[in-house]
Amino acid sequence: MTTARAITCPSCGGTIEIRAAGYTVTLACRYCGSLLDVAHEDVRLITAYRRAAKNFAIPPGARGTLFDVEWEVIGALRRRSGSALWQEFLLFNPYSGYRWLVAADGEWQFGTMLLDRPEDDRLAVSWRGRSFALEDDAEIETTTVVGEFYWRTARGDKVQGATFANGREQLSRETSADEVTWTQLIPVTAEWVEEAFTVEQRHMPRAPRPDLTEGFRKAPGMAEDDLGKMFLIALASLVLILMVQVFLSGPRACSDGRATVEVGAATSTHRIGTIEVRRPWQLVTIVVDSDSFTNRWVDLDYSLVNRQTQQSIDAYGIVEFYTGTDSDGPWSEGSHHAETLISQVPRGTYDVYVDAGAHGWPSDPTPGSIDPANPWGQGETVALWFNSCTGGFSWGMFWLMAALLFSVPGVIFWWRHDS
Amino acid sequence: MADLTCPSCGAALPVRDPGLPYSTCAYCQTLVRRGEAGSLEAVGTVAVLPADVSPIQIGTVVNRDGIAATVVGRVRWGWTDGSWNEWFLRAADGRAFWLGEAMGMYMLTSEYPRVLGVPAIFNFVQGNPMARDCTVKADGKWLTATDIKEATCLGSEGDLPFPTLPGWTMTNVDFRNAAGDALSVQRDADGTTAWLGVWSNLAGLKPANLRQIEGWSIPRALA
Amino acid sequence: MSKRLFLFTAWCALLVMTSAISTWFAWTPFSDEERPSSSSGSYRGPTHK
């Protein structure tokens, strides 16, 4: 009788040796990560995956000696509870059975499953004459699985995990639908683990950042998963901001105007409308559309002149459109449409003027030259249609608010998925 | 007693426990029934045991409460979510033990027929299902049924009290308590037996003559 | 509701208020009264590379 049992992965065809033959029930293929049922002679595929989980602090298959016993890492799990992330390694020795090595927050624990169970109480348990106080009770989710296990496991498995502590020693109780398991966890130093195993430091779960937000993230009652709610609140607030911006900016009153500008000529002034601001302060939006020129730009200097005070508010706009060909092929840039937003316009009636100057790119058409196609023409012109309105919508303000709203849950999300 | 030979292949068939009726030939997997008058009868062929890394082998000796017991046979059971070994042991004082292996832990039990009269278990003996979380008292200890399995024989070796042919099934109920006590009630075609003992790790059994597993050395504490 | 969620909701409410007040007074830091400094020269043309 041989001790090794080799199987062929039904998903990727790779040959996998079962390290704890006779005990192992579930195996995650080390080539493709597919979850296999190896409880019986015929290997069955539970879930197919394309890529095996990597980046564990200790790779499965590693051997090391702890407490005078040689252990082989036969399985590894990545688990999370709220914002806490950690890795668990299943150790096996055929003579000594199974143990756990848990890496969390840069610290290590050595776990032994208990045969004699603690006397249960809600807030404390007693075990072998000592009392352990409840420290934490939360749902634990397994996010990644690699290697082999003596029970049925899969990504996404959820159990209720409670931790009881006496000094630095802990008892962990995990309750699933079928059973309750108790594990004793004792701290072991990182140096000791590193002496036994080659530990990939860059794949260790991150130690908590010693920053001001630490207390905010880890304070009692804050570990719960409220991230989804945060995103919803942020979204609702953004919709509210959108509505406020639209409805508080009115009333809207518009005026149309038109101007024709000669390319290369000096700037010319045109009156393009009259608008009346009826609230103490309003935004004013001026939209301009031009005819379809190429390789020209038109500078637009707007002035809102108050009829009573003759005071002027100035703003600026441009329409520009260029085309060309380079090594990447033809390109075009710019638009025949532009919007100008003027803020804090006080109550009053305004005449809207524009100083417009059109120019050619890369240079203005030579003044006085005669276009052979249009020898009696007055030179090339650009036609512009203006629409000036009271009210407006500041997209800059909207996106600033969106960034400020979503940055908080976004940063929390990034922290959680960082390691 | 002189060793016998397999009626099927003629290989030597060592008698490890004359009190047991069935023996599996290590060479041809023939299941042999030993009659009372020394007769031998081939009753079928046993499945080859699947590979495993159990540290127990036939001839392993365990100690419990000062009594040494020797492994004489093994049956492997399979159920929907896995499989496990049960080793049959005979102690120097003639007592029989089962050593069950699960999750790298061991359940060492000796026969305790008195509990079969307890109503909840008597009901089970009569062929009715056992309720999970059923609590019984055995030898002054309260134990709760935690695990009920329908198991099929996957193979055997050595000497055993029942025929381990393919298709042999049993219903196994494990009871346990917080102190680590264990009660196992097994019902098969021959009837129901009850076994009471403890959960232990391997070191707690103070074992000798462990199997040498390729690629592993026996830890100093056990050697 | 956790303290964290409460603080975040308060933050959202503050931003909605800020937005309402700035809209009422027609104030925005993203208006076009000032010419971008890069366009002070007479030549502009495409920024295409």
- Looking only at the bridges linking them, the beta strands covering A69-81 and A130-149 are antiparallel
More confident call, B177 vs A224: B177
pLDDT at A220: 40
CB B172 within 8 A of CB B148: yes
Rounded distance between C-alpha atoms, residue A41 and residue B182, angstroms: 29
The three-point CA angle A165-A166-A170 to 5° equals: 45
Please enumerate residues of A whose Cβ is less than 8 A from a Cβ of B: 1-5, 19-23, 25, 39-41, 68-70, 92-98, 113, 115-119, 150-152, 179
Q: At what angle do helices A395-416 and A227-247 cross, to 10 degrees?
A: 180
Judge residue A410's burial from the number of C-beta atoms within 10 Å of its C-beta, 0-12 exposed, 13-18 middle, 19 or more buried.
middle
Tokens of B60: 């392993």
Give me the amino acid identity at A101: L
Q: Closest-CA residue in chain A for C31?
A: A341
User: Contact A96/B104, CB-based, under 8 Å?
Assistant: yes
Judge residue A224's burial from the number of C-beta atoms within 10 Å of its C-beta, 0-12 exposed, 13-18 middle, 19 or more buried.
middle
Q: In percent, how much of chain A has pLDDT > 90?
A: 48
Neighbours of A31 (CB within 10 A): 14
**Tens digit of each residue's pLDDT (9 = 90 or more) over A99-125:** 999 998 878 999 999 988 887 777 889
> Average pLDDT over chain A, rounded to whole?
86
pLDDT at A200: 85
Using the Cα atoms of residue A363, residue A364, residue A369 and residue A375 in order, give the sign of their dihedral: positive
pLDDT at A388: 95
pLDDT at A326: 86
Interface with chain A: mutation pick from B46, B48, B53, B99, highest number of A CBs within 10 Å: B53
Half-sphere exposure at residue B153, Cβ-oriented, CA atoms within 13 angstroms:
22
The shortest CB-CB distance from A408 to any of C11, C16, C19 is to C11
Question: Which residue(s) pair with A141 in the sheet?
Answer: A158
pLDDT of C40 strictly over 80: no
pLDDT at A207: 57
pLDDT of A215 strictly over 50: no
pLDDT of A48 strictly over 90: no
**Tens digit of each residue's pLDDT (9 = 90 or more) over A310-325:** 999 999 999 999 988 8
Shortest Cα distance, chain A CAs vs residue C6, angstroms: 10
pLDDT of A194 strictly over 70: yes
At C9 the three-state DSSP class reads helix
**Tens digit of each residue's pLDDT (9 = 90 or more) over A328-343:** 888 888 899 999 999 9
Find the mean pLDDT for residues B123-129.
91
Helix residue ranges, H only, A201-263:
213-218, 227-247
Shortest Cα distance, chain A CAs vs residue B62, angstroms: 14
- Name the one residue in this structure whose structure tokens are 């047991």: B20
A abuts C (3+ Cβ pairs < 8 Å): yes
Q: In percent, how much of chain B has pLDDT > 90?
A: 56
Chain A residues near residue C47 by CB distance under 8 angstroms: 333
pLDDT band at A238 (very low <50, low <70, confident <90, very high): very high
CB A354 within 8 A of CB A340: no
Q: Count chain A–chain B contacts defined by CB atoms under 8 A.
A: 100
- Of A240, A46, A232, the closest CA to residue A153 belongs to A46
pLDDT at A155: 87
Tokens of A187: 């701290």
The backbone torsions φ and ψ at residue A88, rounded to the nearest 5 degrees and listed phi first, read -125, 135
Chain C residues near residue A316 by CB distance under 8 angstroms: 32-35
pLDDT of C25 strictly over 60: yes
Judge residue A381's burial from the number of C-beta atoms within 10 Å of its C-beta, 0-12 exposed, 13-18 middle, 19 or more buried.
middle
The shortest CB-CB distance from A23 to any of B104, B202, B213 is to B104
Helix residue ranges, H only, A212-352:
213-218, 227-247
pLDDT at A239: 95
Question: Which H or E element spans position A319?
Answer: strand A312-326
Find the mean pLDDT for residues A356-379.
70
At A157 the three-state DSSP class reads coil
Contacts of A109 (CB under 8 A, 6+ apart): A100, A101, A102, A170, A185, A186, A187, A188
Interface with chain B: mutation pick from A41, A90, A115, A121, highest number of B CBs within 10 Å: A115
Instruction: Write down all domains in chain A, each with its CATH number in brackets.
Output: 53-211 (no CATH), 254-392 (2.60.120)
Find the mean pLDDT for residues B7-28.
90
User: Contact A113/B103, CB-based, under 8 Å?
Assistant: yes
The shortest CB-CB distance from A22 to any of B53, B179, B218 is to B53
B178 touches chain A (CB under 8 A): yes
**Tens digit of each residue's pLDDT (9 = 90 or more) over A123-148:** 889 898 899 999 888 999 999 899 99
User: Would the pTM count as exceeding 0.80?
Assistant: no
Chains that touch C (3 or more CB pairs under 8 A): A
**Tens digit of each residue's pLDDT (9 = 90 or more) over C10-22:** 999 999 999 999 9
Rounded distance between C-alpha atoms, residue C47 and residue A330, angstroms: 15
The interface residues of chain B toward chain A in range 100-139, judged by CB-CB distance below 8 A, are 103-105
pLDDT at A376: 58
Please enumerate residues of C whose Cβ is less than 8 A from a Cβ of A: 2-5, 8-9, 11-13, 15-16, 18-20, 22-35, 39, 42, 44-48
pLDDT at A115: 86
pLDDT at C49: 59
Helix residue ranges, H only, C1-49:
3-24
pLDDT of A208 strictly over 60: no
pLDDT at A193: 93
Rounded distance between C-alpha atoms, residue A319 and residue A78, angstroms: 56
The shortest CB-CB distance from A221 to any of C3, C15, C44 is to C3
- Of A147, A186, A180, A187, the closest CA to residue A161 belongs to A180
pLDDT at C36: 62
pLDDT of A3 strictly over 80: no
**Tens digit of each residue's pLDDT (9 = 90 or more) over B133-184:** 889 999 999 999 988 999 999 999 999 999 998 889 999 999 998 888 999 9
pLDDT of B28 strictly over 70: yes
For A87-125, letters b (16+ CB in 10 Å) and e give: bbbbbbbbbbbbbbbbbbeebbbbbbbbbebbeeeeeeb
Neighbours of B103 (CB within 10 A): 15
At CB < 8 A and 24+ separation, what contacts does A393-397 make?
A393/A245, A393/A246, A393/A249, A393/A285, A394/A245, A394/A283, A394/A341, A394/A343, A394/C28, A394/C30, A394/C31, A395/C30, A396/C28, A396/C29, A396/C30, A397/A245, A397/C19, A397/C22, A397/C23, A397/C28, A397/C29, A397/C30
Chains that touch B (3 or more CB pairs under 8 A): A
At A419 the three-state DSSP class reads coil
C abuts B (3+ Cβ pairs < 8 Å): no
Using the Cα atoms of residue A94, residue B96, residue B79 and residue A79 in order, give the sign of their dihedral: negative
B203 touches chain A (CB under 8 A): yes
Find the mean pLDDT for residues B171-200.
92
**Tens digit of each residue's pLDDT (9 = 90 or more) over A268-298:** 999 999 999 999 999 999 999 999 888 889 9
The shortest CB-CB distance from C33 to any of A219, A236, A314 is to A314
Helix residue ranges, H only, B19-131:
119-125
Question: Which residue(s) pair with A182 in the sheet?
Answer: A173
Chain C residues near residue A394 by CB distance under 8 angstroms: 28, 30-31
Enter the ipTM. 0.89
Tokens of B54: 């159990």
Task: Say if residue A346 is preceded by a cis peptide, omega within 30 of 0.
Answer: no
Chain A residues near residue B53 by CB distance under 8 angstroms: 3, 19-23, 94
pLDDT band at B112 (very low <50, low <70, confident <90, very high): very high
pLDDT of A42 strictly over 80: yes
Chain B residues near residue A68 by CB distance under 8 angstroms: 219-221
CA-based radius of gyration for chain A: 36
Rounded distance between C-alpha atoms, residue A306 and residue B119, angstroms: 102
Neighbours of A382 (CB within 10 A): 21
Contacts of A138 (CB under 8 A, 6+ apart): A81, A82, A160, A161, A223, A224
pLDDT of C26 strictly over 70: yes
pLDDT at B214: 87
Task: Say if residue B14 is preceded by a cis peptide, omega within 30 of 0.
Answer: no
A12-16, A282-286, A407-411 — most confident range: A282-286
Half-sphere exposure at residue A102, Cβ-oriented, CA atoms within 13 angstroms:
19
Find the mean pLDDT for residues B35-57.
87
Chain C residues near residue A240 by CB distance under 8 angstroms: 16
Find the mean pLDDT for residues A80-84.
85
